[in-house]
Amino acid sequence: MPGNNQMLIREAHPALDNMKYEIAAELGLPVHQGSEDYWGHITSHDAGRVGGTMTKRLVAFAEQSLSQGTAQ
C-alpha cells in the first residue's frame, strides 16, 4: 500500500537506529551515529548489507519470541 509508512511503535525508532549503526560498524563502514540517515558516500550494496543484516536479526528475534511464547 503506497503511502502507508507510519510508525507503529515510536519507541522502536532509537533502538533500530542503534542497531543500524552497530551493524555498519561491524561491517567496517565509515558512518557514525548522528549522520542521521545521510549515507551518500556509502554504496547501495553496502547500505543493502546493513538493511539485510537488520532484517535477519529482527526475524531471528521474532522467531525466538514466538518459540518462547513471548510474542504479543
71, pLDDT greater than 80 = no
pLDDT (0 to 100) of residue 35: 62
* CA distance linking residue 47 with residue 19, whole number of Å: 13
The three grid cell numbers given for residue 6, joined into one nine-digit string: 507510519
Taken as a whole, the chain contains a residue count of 72
Per-residue pLDDT, 4: 74
Give residue-wise pLDDT tens across range 14-45: 899 999 999 999 999 998 887 666 788 899 99
Cβ proximity of 21 and 33 under 8 Å: yes
Task: Determine whether 24 is exposed, middle or buried from the number of CB atoms within 10 Å of its CB (0-12, 13-18, 19+).
Answer: buried
In 3D space, the residue among 52, 16, 46 whose CA is nearest the CA of residue 31 turns out to be 46
As a whole number, mean pLDDT of residues 50-72 equals: 90
Q: Is the pTM of this model over 0.75?
A: yes
